[in-house]
Amino acid sequence: MPSPPSHHRHAAALLLLALQLSCCGGGARSSSPSTSPSPKVPAVIVFGDSTVDTGNNNAIGTILKSDFAPYGRDMAGGPKPTGRFCNGRLPPDFISEALGLPPLVPAYLDPAYGIDDFARGVCFASAGTGLDNKTADVLSVIPLWKEVEYFKEYQRRLRRHVGRARARRIVSDALYVVSIGTNDFLENYYLFVTGRFMEFTVGEFEDFLVSQAEWFLAEIHRLGARRVTFAGLSPIGCLPLERTLNVFRGGCIEEYNQVARDYNEKLVAMLGRLMASRPKLKVAYINVYKNMLDLITNPSTLGLENVEEGCCATGKVEMSYMCNDKSPMTCEDAGKFFFWDSFHPTEKVNKFFAKETLDLCYEQLL
Catalytic sites, residue numbers: 50, 341, 344
Is the bond into 143 cis (omega within 30 degrees of 0)?
A: no
Q: Please give the Cα distance from 88 to 71 (Å, whole number).
A: 7
- What are the phi and psi torsion angles at 307 (to 5°)? -120, 10
C-beta of residue 237 within 8 angstroms of C-beta of residue 254: yes
How many CB atoms are located within 10 Å of the residue 7 CB?
12
- What are the phi and psi torsion angles at 286 (to 5°)? -95, 115
C-beta of residue 228 within 8 angstroms of C-beta of residue 220: yes
Tell the burial category of 101 from Cβ atoms under 10 Å away from its Cβ (0-12, 13-18, 19+): buried
C-beta of residue 343 within 8 angstroms of C-beta of residue 240: yes
Closest residue by Cα to residue 104 from 86, 82, 125, 71? 82
Closest residue by Cα to residue 285 from 265, 258, 257? 265
Q: Please give the Cα distance from 354 to 341 (Å, whole number).
A: 19
Strand segments (E) across the chain: 44-48, 121-123, 175-179, 227-231, 282-286, 306-310, 337-339
Closest residue by Cα to residue 174 from 287, 39, 55, 51? 39
- Exposure string of 340-361, with b = 16+ CB inside 10 Å and e = fewer, is bbbbbbbbbbbbbbbbbbbebb
